[in-house]
Structure 1
Amino acid sequence: MELELPPPDVLLARIALADVMFCATVGVAFEAEAVSRVDGGRLTVEDGAGNWLSVVRYPGGRALLYGGDESSEVWERDAPYDPLADAPDWVRCAELTTAHPWLDDDPVGFVRWWEEGIWRRTPIDLDDGLFCGIRSYADAEEFASKFKGQAVDASWLTFDYESQQFRSGSVELAAFEALCAAAGRGAVGREQLDLLPAAIRDAAGEHLWRAGVIVGAPKVTEPLAQ
Protein backbone atom coordinates (compact mmCIF):
# COMPACT_ATOMS: atom_id res chain seq x y z
CA MET A 1 0.00 0.00 0.00
CA GLU A 2 1.37 3.41 -1.02
CA LEU A 3 0.87 6.21 1.47
CA GLU A 4 0.57 9.89 0.70
CA LEU A 5 3.50 11.17 2.73
CA PRO A 6 3.65 14.64 4.28
CA PRO A 7 6.75 16.85 3.86
CA PRO A 8 9.96 15.84 5.69
CA ASP A 9 9.64 18.50 8.41
CA VAL A 10 6.19 17.18 9.33
CA LEU A 11 7.46 13.59 9.53
CA LEU A 12 10.35 14.68 11.73
CA ALA A 13 8.06 16.67 14.02
CA ARG A 14 5.55 13.85 14.45
CA ILE A 15 8.20 11.18 15.06
CA ALA A 16 10.11 13.27 17.59
CA LEU A 17 6.91 14.36 19.34
CA ALA A 18 5.69 10.76 19.55
CA ASP A 19 8.91 9.91 21.42
CA VAL A 20 8.25 12.68 23.89
CA MET A 21 4.68 11.56 24.45
CA PHE A 22 5.71 7.94 24.90
CA CYS A 23 8.04 8.83 27.76
CA ALA A 24 5.54 11.27 29.27
CA THR A 25 2.60 8.89 29.29
CA VAL A 26 4.42 5.84 30.63
CA GLY A 27 5.98 7.94 33.38
CA VAL A 28 9.64 7.19 32.65
CA ALA A 29 12.62 9.52 32.46
CA PHE A 30 13.00 10.94 28.98
CA GLU A 31 15.74 9.15 27.09
CA ALA A 32 15.57 10.02 23.40
CA GLU A 33 17.66 7.03 22.33
CA ALA A 34 15.10 4.69 23.88
CA VAL A 35 12.91 5.34 20.85
CA SER A 36 14.70 7.57 18.35
CA ARG A 37 18.07 9.15 17.83
CA VAL A 38 18.97 12.51 16.31
CA ASP A 39 22.43 12.69 14.76
CA GLY A 40 23.06 15.91 12.86
CA GLY A 41 20.41 16.16 10.16
CA ARG A 42 19.41 12.53 10.57
CA LEU A 43 16.64 11.10 12.78
CA THR A 44 16.29 7.33 13.14
CA VAL A 45 13.46 5.51 14.88
CA GLU A 46 12.99 1.81 15.66
CA ASP A 47 9.70 0.46 17.01
CA GLY A 48 10.95 -2.72 18.67
CA ALA A 49 8.96 -4.87 16.24
CA GLY A 50 11.39 -5.07 13.33
CA ASN A 51 10.43 -1.75 11.72
CA TRP A 52 12.88 1.11 11.47
CA LEU A 53 13.30 4.25 9.39
CA SER A 54 15.50 7.30 9.02
CA VAL A 55 14.59 10.79 7.83
CA VAL A 56 17.53 12.89 6.65
CA ARG A 57 17.59 16.56 5.70
CA TYR A 58 19.93 17.73 2.93
CA PRO A 59 20.72 21.21 1.58
CA GLY A 60 18.47 22.74 -1.04
CA GLY A 61 15.25 21.44 0.50
CA ARG A 62 16.08 17.81 -0.27
CA ALA A 63 15.48 14.88 2.07
CA LEU A 64 15.66 11.10 2.25
CA LEU A 65 13.34 8.61 3.93
CA TYR A 66 14.61 5.06 4.10
CA GLY A 67 14.38 2.01 6.33
CA GLY A 68 13.25 -1.56 6.54
CA ASP A 69 10.68 -4.02 7.84
CA GLU A 70 11.65 -7.63 8.49
CA SER A 71 8.31 -8.84 7.07
CA SER A 72 8.58 -6.80 3.85
CA GLU A 73 7.62 -8.59 0.66
CA VAL A 74 10.80 -7.38 -1.08
CA TRP A 75 12.84 -9.98 0.82
CA GLU A 76 10.72 -12.75 -0.75
CA ARG A 77 11.34 -11.79 -4.39
CA ASP A 78 13.29 -14.13 -6.61
CA ALA A 79 15.04 -11.19 -8.25
CA PRO A 80 16.73 -8.68 -5.92
CA TYR A 81 14.99 -5.31 -5.59
CA ASP A 82 17.17 -2.22 -5.79
CA PRO A 83 15.28 0.71 -4.17
CA LEU A 84 17.88 3.06 -5.67
CA ALA A 85 17.45 1.90 -9.27
CA ASP A 86 15.55 5.03 -10.37
CA ALA A 87 17.13 7.41 -7.86
CA PRO A 88 19.12 10.49 -8.93
CA ASP A 89 22.86 10.64 -8.33
CA TRP A 90 22.64 12.58 -5.08
CA VAL A 91 20.49 9.81 -3.57
CA ARG A 92 22.67 6.99 -4.88
CA CYS A 93 25.70 8.66 -3.30
CA ALA A 94 23.99 9.17 0.07
CA GLU A 95 25.07 7.22 3.12
CA LEU A 96 22.13 4.96 3.94
CA THR A 97 23.40 4.05 7.37
CA THR A 98 21.60 3.84 10.71
CA ALA A 99 22.55 5.76 13.83
CA HIS A 100 20.50 3.91 16.41
CA PRO A 101 21.92 1.70 19.19
CA TRP A 102 19.32 -1.03 18.52
CA LEU A 103 20.22 -1.38 14.84
CA ASP A 104 23.26 -3.09 13.41
CA ASP A 105 23.60 -2.99 9.62
CA ASP A 106 19.91 -3.78 9.16
CA PRO A 107 19.08 -4.02 5.43
CA VAL A 108 17.36 -1.15 3.64
CA GLY A 109 14.08 -2.21 2.03
CA PHE A 110 12.54 1.12 1.05
CA VAL A 111 13.84 4.51 -0.06
CA ARG A 112 11.94 7.70 -0.82
CA TRP A 113 13.59 10.97 -1.83
CA TRP A 114 12.14 14.47 -1.48
CA GLU A 115 13.04 16.93 -4.19
CA GLU A 116 11.20 19.94 -5.61
CA GLY A 117 8.41 19.41 -3.08
CA ILE A 118 7.60 15.83 -4.09
CA TRP A 119 8.36 12.37 -2.69
CA ARG A 120 9.64 9.94 -5.34
CA ARG A 121 10.60 6.26 -5.35
CA THR A 122 11.71 3.34 -7.50
CA PRO A 123 8.44 1.63 -8.54
CA ILE A 124 7.60 -1.84 -7.24
CA ASP A 125 4.29 -3.70 -7.09
CA LEU A 126 5.01 -5.25 -3.67
CA ASP A 127 4.92 -3.98 -0.09
CA ASP A 128 8.43 -2.66 0.52
CA GLY A 129 7.86 -2.23 4.26
CA LEU A 130 7.24 1.51 4.44
CA PHE A 131 3.58 1.25 5.46
CA CYS A 132 4.09 -0.54 8.79
CA GLY A 133 6.79 1.79 10.01
CA ILE A 134 5.32 5.13 9.08
CA ARG A 135 1.53 4.91 8.86
CA SER A 136 0.94 6.45 12.29
CA TYR A 137 3.11 9.46 11.36
CA ALA A 138 1.97 9.95 7.78
CA ASP A 139 -1.76 10.49 8.33
CA ALA A 140 -2.81 13.49 10.43
CA GLU A 141 -5.94 11.86 11.88
CA GLU A 142 -4.18 8.61 12.77
CA PHE A 143 -1.33 10.50 14.39
CA ALA A 144 -3.72 12.63 16.44
CA SER A 145 -5.71 9.57 17.54
CA LYS A 146 -2.60 7.66 18.59
CA PHE A 147 -1.14 10.74 20.28
CA LYS A 148 -4.27 11.43 22.31
CA GLY A 149 -4.78 7.71 22.95
CA GLN A 150 -1.47 7.65 24.80
CA ALA A 151 -2.67 10.55 26.90
CA VAL A 152 -5.82 8.59 27.80
CA ASP A 153 -3.61 5.73 29.02
CA ALA A 154 -1.85 8.23 31.26
CA SER A 155 -5.17 9.69 32.50
CA TRP A 156 -4.33 13.07 30.99
CA LEU A 157 -7.41 12.87 28.78
CA THR A 158 -10.58 10.78 28.91
CA PHE A 159 -12.51 9.15 26.08
CA ASP A 160 -16.29 9.13 25.96
CA TYR A 161 -17.17 5.85 24.24
CA GLU A 162 -20.81 6.85 23.80
CA SER A 163 -19.99 9.99 21.82
CA GLN A 164 -16.65 8.63 20.55
CA GLN A 165 -15.01 11.90 21.59
CA PHE A 166 -11.88 12.73 23.57
CA ARG A 167 -12.46 14.89 26.65
CA SER A 168 -10.24 16.97 28.87
CA GLY A 169 -8.71 15.26 31.86
CA SER A 170 -5.80 16.64 33.87
CA VAL A 171 -4.66 18.51 30.74
CA GLU A 172 -6.87 20.57 28.46
CA LEU A 173 -7.88 18.76 25.29
CA ALA A 174 -7.32 21.96 23.33
CA ALA A 175 -3.64 21.94 24.32
CA PHE A 176 -3.20 18.46 22.88
CA GLU A 177 -5.03 19.35 19.71
CA ALA A 178 -2.86 22.43 19.29
CA LEU A 179 0.28 20.33 19.77
CA CYS A 180 -0.88 17.85 17.11
CA ALA A 181 -1.63 20.71 14.75
CA ALA A 182 1.79 22.24 15.37
CA ALA A 183 3.45 18.93 14.48
CA GLY A 184 1.42 18.97 11.27
CA ARG A 185 3.08 22.28 10.43
CA GLY A 186 6.52 20.90 11.25
CA ALA A 187 7.20 23.36 14.07
CA VAL A 188 6.28 23.25 17.77
CA GLY A 189 6.39 26.22 20.13
CA ARG A 190 8.47 25.62 23.25
CA GLU A 191 5.63 26.98 25.38
CA GLN A 192 3.43 24.16 24.09
CA LEU A 193 5.61 21.71 26.05
CA ASP A 194 4.32 23.16 29.34
CA LEU A 195 1.69 20.39 29.40
CA LEU A 196 4.50 17.81 29.84
CA PRO A 197 5.62 16.63 33.30
CA ALA A 198 8.29 18.95 34.66
CA ALA A 199 10.70 16.03 35.12
CA ILE A 200 11.06 15.51 31.35
CA ARG A 201 10.22 18.93 29.97
CA ASP A 202 13.77 20.26 29.52
CA ALA A 203 15.15 17.02 28.06
CA ALA A 204 12.19 16.69 25.72
CA GLY A 205 12.62 20.27 24.56
CA GLU A 206 16.29 19.63 23.86
CA HIS A 207 15.45 16.54 21.81
CA LEU A 208 12.92 18.47 19.75
CA TRP A 209 15.36 21.35 19.34
CA ARG A 210 18.09 19.04 18.01
CA ALA A 211 15.57 17.56 15.58
CA GLY A 212 14.80 21.06 14.27
CA VAL A 213 11.20 20.82 15.47
CA ILE A 214 11.06 23.70 17.98
CA VAL A 215 10.18 27.07 16.45
CA GLY A 216 13.45 28.92 15.78
CA ALA A 217 15.65 25.82 15.97
CA PRO A 218 18.23 25.34 13.21
CA LYS A 219 17.29 22.70 10.66
CA VAL A 220 20.61 20.87 10.48
CA THR A 221 21.39 19.19 7.17
CA GLU A 222 23.74 16.40 6.16
CA PRO A 223 26.30 17.23 3.44
CA LEU A 224 25.62 15.96 -0.05
CA ALA A 225 28.27 13.61 -1.42
CA GLN A 226 30.28 15.01 -4.32
Structure 2
Amino acid sequence: MTINRPGLPGDLPAAPELWARWALIAVLEATTKDEQRAHHRTGTWADGDGLHLDDSGSTWWSFTARGEGRWVLYGEDESSGCKWHQPPVDLLAGAPSWLPHEELQDLLSGAQLGCVYWYEDGSWARAPYPDTLDDDGLDCGMSRFADRADVLRTIADEDHGATSAADAQALLTHAENHRLTPELLMSLTRDPHWRQRDRPAMTRALEHAGLNRP
Protein backbone atom coordinates (compact mmCIF):
# COMPACT_ATOMS: atom_id res chain seq x y z
CA MET A 1 0.00 0.00 0.00
CA THR A 2 1.39 3.39 -1.03
CA ILE A 3 1.03 6.48 1.15
CA ASN A 4 0.89 9.72 -0.77
CA ARG A 5 2.71 12.92 0.12
CA PRO A 6 0.82 14.57 1.68
CA GLY A 7 -1.20 11.65 2.95
CA LEU A 8 -4.76 10.91 1.93
CA PRO A 9 -7.29 9.29 4.28
CA GLY A 10 -7.62 6.32 1.93
CA ASP A 11 -3.89 5.60 2.23
CA LEU A 12 -4.32 4.12 5.70
CA PRO A 13 -5.57 0.60 6.40
CA ALA A 14 -8.83 0.40 8.31
CA ALA A 15 -8.30 1.43 11.92
CA PRO A 16 -8.80 -2.09 13.40
CA GLU A 17 -6.17 -3.45 11.00
CA LEU A 18 -3.74 -0.64 11.75
CA TRP A 19 -4.30 -1.20 15.47
CA ALA A 20 -3.60 -4.94 15.26
CA ARG A 21 -0.39 -4.48 13.25
CA TRP A 22 1.00 -1.71 15.42
CA ALA A 23 -0.06 -3.38 18.65
CA LEU A 24 1.50 -6.73 17.78
CA ILE A 25 4.85 -5.12 17.12
CA ALA A 26 4.51 -3.23 20.41
CA VAL A 27 3.84 -6.50 22.23
CA LEU A 28 6.85 -8.19 20.66
CA GLU A 29 9.09 -5.27 21.66
CA ALA A 30 7.78 -4.95 25.23
CA THR A 31 10.27 -5.05 28.12
CA THR A 32 9.93 -4.24 31.79
CA LYS A 33 12.98 -1.98 31.53
CA ASP A 34 11.29 0.15 28.89
CA GLU A 35 8.08 0.29 30.93
CA GLN A 36 10.00 1.69 33.88
CA ARG A 37 11.71 4.51 32.01
CA ALA A 38 11.24 7.63 34.10
CA HIS A 39 11.84 9.99 31.23
CA HIS A 40 11.25 9.98 27.50
CA ARG A 41 10.33 6.53 26.18
CA THR A 42 11.29 5.40 22.69
CA GLY A 43 10.42 2.48 20.44
CA THR A 44 6.95 1.05 19.85
CA TRP A 45 4.69 0.40 22.83
CA ALA A 46 1.18 0.00 24.19
CA ASP A 47 -0.07 1.48 27.44
CA GLY A 48 -3.30 2.65 29.03
CA ASP A 49 -3.43 5.64 26.68
CA GLY A 50 -3.15 3.64 23.45
CA LEU A 51 -0.35 2.83 21.01
CA HIS A 52 2.82 4.87 20.60
CA LEU A 53 5.87 5.12 18.38
CA ASP A 54 8.88 7.35 18.98
CA ASP A 55 12.36 7.10 17.51
CA SER A 56 13.74 9.84 19.77
CA GLY A 57 14.54 12.01 16.82
CA SER A 58 12.59 12.38 13.62
CA THR A 59 9.17 10.85 14.28
CA TRP A 60 6.60 10.26 17.04
CA TRP A 61 2.99 9.03 16.84
CA SER A 62 0.03 8.11 19.04
CA PHE A 63 -3.00 6.03 18.10
CA THR A 64 -5.94 6.03 20.49
CA ALA A 65 -9.37 4.41 20.61
CA ARG A 66 -12.10 6.96 21.37
CA GLY A 67 -15.11 4.73 21.81
CA GLU A 68 -16.93 2.21 19.66
CA GLY A 69 -15.68 2.48 16.07
CA ARG A 70 -13.70 5.68 16.67
CA TRP A 71 -9.95 6.21 16.64
CA VAL A 72 -7.58 9.15 16.37
CA LEU A 73 -4.06 9.04 14.91
CA TYR A 74 -1.75 11.98 15.44
CA GLY A 75 1.93 12.77 15.57
CA GLU A 76 4.78 14.30 13.69
CA ASP A 77 7.54 13.34 11.31
CA GLU A 78 10.26 15.80 10.47
CA SER A 79 9.15 15.60 6.83
CA SER A 80 5.84 17.30 7.66
CA GLY A 81 5.47 20.83 6.36
CA CYS A 82 2.15 21.53 8.07
CA LYS A 83 3.40 23.64 10.95
CA TRP A 84 5.73 25.66 8.73
CA HIS A 85 3.27 26.27 5.94
CA GLN A 86 2.06 29.80 5.24
CA PRO A 87 -0.72 30.41 5.77
CA PRO A 88 -0.83 27.92 8.68
CA VAL A 89 -2.67 24.63 8.11
CA ASP A 90 -5.58 24.18 10.52
CA LEU A 91 -5.11 20.51 11.39
CA LEU A 92 -8.39 20.42 13.32
CA ALA A 93 -10.61 21.95 10.66
CA GLY A 94 -13.73 19.80 10.45
CA ALA A 95 -12.59 17.57 13.31
CA PRO A 96 -15.33 15.88 15.35
CA SER A 97 -15.97 16.85 18.97
CA TRP A 98 -14.84 13.47 20.31
CA LEU A 99 -11.17 14.06 19.50
CA PRO A 100 -8.88 14.96 22.45
CA HIS A 101 -9.00 18.63 21.50
CA GLU A 102 -7.29 19.97 24.61
CA GLU A 103 -4.30 17.67 24.17
CA LEU A 104 -4.09 18.39 20.44
CA GLN A 105 -4.30 22.14 21.00
CA ASP A 106 -1.47 21.91 23.52
CA LEU A 107 0.66 20.10 20.96
CA LEU A 108 -0.22 22.65 18.30
CA SER A 109 0.66 25.55 20.56
CA GLY A 110 4.07 23.98 21.14
CA ALA A 111 4.65 23.35 17.42
CA GLN A 112 4.82 19.61 18.10
CA LEU A 113 2.09 18.31 15.79
CA GLY A 114 2.50 17.35 12.15
CA CYS A 115 -0.88 15.83 11.26
CA VAL A 116 -4.13 14.47 12.69
CA TYR A 117 -6.33 11.74 11.18
CA TRP A 118 -9.55 10.42 12.65
CA TYR A 119 -11.60 7.29 11.95
CA GLU A 120 -15.36 6.92 12.27
CA ASP A 121 -18.10 5.02 10.43
CA GLY A 122 -15.50 2.82 8.74
CA SER A 123 -13.38 5.51 7.11
CA TRP A 124 -10.51 7.91 7.78
CA ALA A 125 -10.68 11.69 7.49
CA ARG A 126 -8.44 14.68 8.08
CA ALA A 127 -8.52 18.45 7.71
CA PRO A 128 -8.35 19.84 4.16
CA TYR A 129 -4.86 20.78 2.99
CA PRO A 130 -3.81 23.57 0.65
CA ASP A 131 -2.49 22.50 -2.76
CA THR A 132 0.87 24.02 -1.85
CA LEU A 133 1.52 21.59 1.02
CA ASP A 134 4.15 19.05 -0.06
CA ASP A 135 4.03 16.57 2.83
CA ASP A 136 2.32 15.99 6.18
CA GLY A 137 4.67 13.24 7.39
CA LEU A 138 2.16 10.39 7.19
CA ASP A 139 4.25 8.41 4.72
CA CYS A 140 7.47 8.44 6.72
CA GLY A 141 5.60 7.82 9.97
CA MET A 142 3.04 5.18 9.05
CA SER A 143 4.34 3.41 5.95
CA ARG A 144 5.82 0.72 8.23
CA PHE A 145 2.25 -0.39 9.07
CA ALA A 146 0.46 0.32 5.79
CA ASP A 147 1.32 -2.89 3.95
CA ARG A 148 0.50 -6.19 5.64
CA ALA A 149 3.38 -7.99 3.91
CA ASP A 150 5.84 -5.44 5.28
CA VAL A 151 4.46 -5.97 8.78
CA LEU A 152 4.86 -9.73 8.44
CA ARG A 153 8.50 -9.28 7.45
CA THR A 154 9.06 -7.12 10.52
CA ILE A 155 7.43 -9.68 12.82
CA ALA A 156 9.70 -12.40 11.42
CA ASP A 157 12.97 -10.45 11.58
CA GLU A 158 15.69 -11.00 14.19
CA ASP A 159 14.50 -8.11 16.34
CA HIS A 160 10.94 -9.37 16.78
CA GLY A 161 11.32 -13.12 16.98
CA ALA A 162 8.67 -14.99 15.00
CA THR A 163 10.16 -18.42 14.38
CA SER A 164 9.11 -18.56 10.72
CA ALA A 165 7.09 -16.75 8.08
CA ALA A 166 4.20 -19.10 8.85
CA ASP A 167 4.40 -18.24 12.54
CA ALA A 168 4.49 -14.53 11.72
CA GLN A 169 1.30 -15.04 9.71
CA ALA A 170 -0.29 -16.92 12.61
CA LEU A 171 0.67 -14.23 15.12
CA LEU A 172 -0.79 -11.45 13.02
CA THR A 173 -3.96 -13.39 12.24
CA HIS A 174 -4.53 -14.07 15.94
CA ALA A 175 -3.86 -10.39 16.71
CA GLU A 176 -6.33 -9.26 14.03
CA ASN A 177 -8.97 -11.56 15.50
CA HIS A 178 -8.17 -10.49 19.08
CA ARG A 179 -7.37 -14.05 20.06
CA LEU A 180 -3.68 -13.72 20.84
CA THR A 181 -2.75 -15.26 24.21
CA PRO A 182 0.54 -15.20 26.12
CA GLU A 183 0.86 -18.93 25.43
CA LEU A 184 0.57 -18.40 21.68
CA LEU A 185 3.07 -15.56 21.87
CA MET A 186 5.64 -17.74 23.55
CA SER A 187 5.04 -20.76 21.32
CA LEU A 188 5.35 -18.82 18.04
CA THR A 189 8.35 -16.65 18.94
CA ARG A 190 11.95 -17.05 19.97
CA ASP A 191 14.30 -14.70 21.82
CA PRO A 192 15.32 -11.81 19.56
CA HIS A 193 19.04 -11.68 18.90
CA TRP A 194 19.57 -8.68 21.22
CA ARG A 195 17.49 -9.65 24.27
CA GLN A 196 15.47 -12.33 26.02
CA ARG A 197 11.70 -12.25 25.70
CA ASP A 198 10.05 -10.58 28.68
CA ARG A 199 6.82 -12.51 29.14
CA PRO A 200 5.36 -10.33 31.92
CA ALA A 201 5.92 -7.13 29.92
CA MET A 202 4.61 -8.73 26.74
CA THR A 203 1.51 -9.90 28.61
CA ARG A 204 0.88 -6.42 30.00
CA ALA A 205 1.24 -4.91 26.53
CA LEU A 206 -1.14 -7.55 25.19
CA GLU A 207 -3.71 -6.53 27.81
CA HIS A 208 -3.31 -2.83 27.07
CA ALA A 209 -3.76 -3.42 23.35
CA GLY A 210 -6.71 -5.78 23.82
CA LEU A 211 -5.38 -8.32 21.34
CA ASN A 212 -6.58 -11.11 23.61
CA ARG A 213 -10.21 -9.96 23.78
CA PRO A 214 -12.61 -10.73 20.90
What's the TM-score once normalised by structure 1's chain length? 0.70
Cα deviation, residue 139, structure 1: 1.5
Superposition pairs of residues 37-186 of structure 1, within 5 angstroms: 37-91=45-99, 93=101, 95-96=103-104, 107-124=112-129, 125=131, 126-148=134-156, 150-151=157-158, 171-185=163-177
d(CA) in 2 for partners of 1:38, 1:106 = 25
Q: Which residue of 2 aligns with 1:31?
A: 34
Cα pair distance change 1:106/1:79, threshold 3 Å: closer
Structure 1 alignment gaps of length 5 or more? 99-104, 158-170, 217-226
Cα pair distance change 1:187/1:41, threshold 3 Å: farther
> Which digits, 9 at most, give the CA deviation of each residue in 1:47-97, with x for residues without a partner?
233111111111232111111112212234221111111212333735338
Structure 2 alignment gaps of length 5 or more? 36-40
**After the TM superposition, which of the residue ranges 73-82 and 126-135 deviates more from structure 2?**
73-82
Cα pair distance change 1:17/1:31, threshold 3 Å: farther
* Counterpart secondary structure, 1:119: strand
Cα deviation, residue 46, structure 1: 0.6
* Counterpart secondary structure, 1:113: strand
Instruction: Check the 8 A contact 1:9/1:213 in 2, yes or no.
Output: no
d(CA) in 1 for partners of 2:88, 2:128 = 13
What's the TM-score once normalised by structure 2's chain length? 0.73
Cα pair distance change 1:199/1:59, threshold 3 Å: closer
Q: CA RMSD in A?
A: 3.0
**After the TM superposition, which of the residue ranges 197-206 and 65-74 deviates more from structure 2?**
197-206
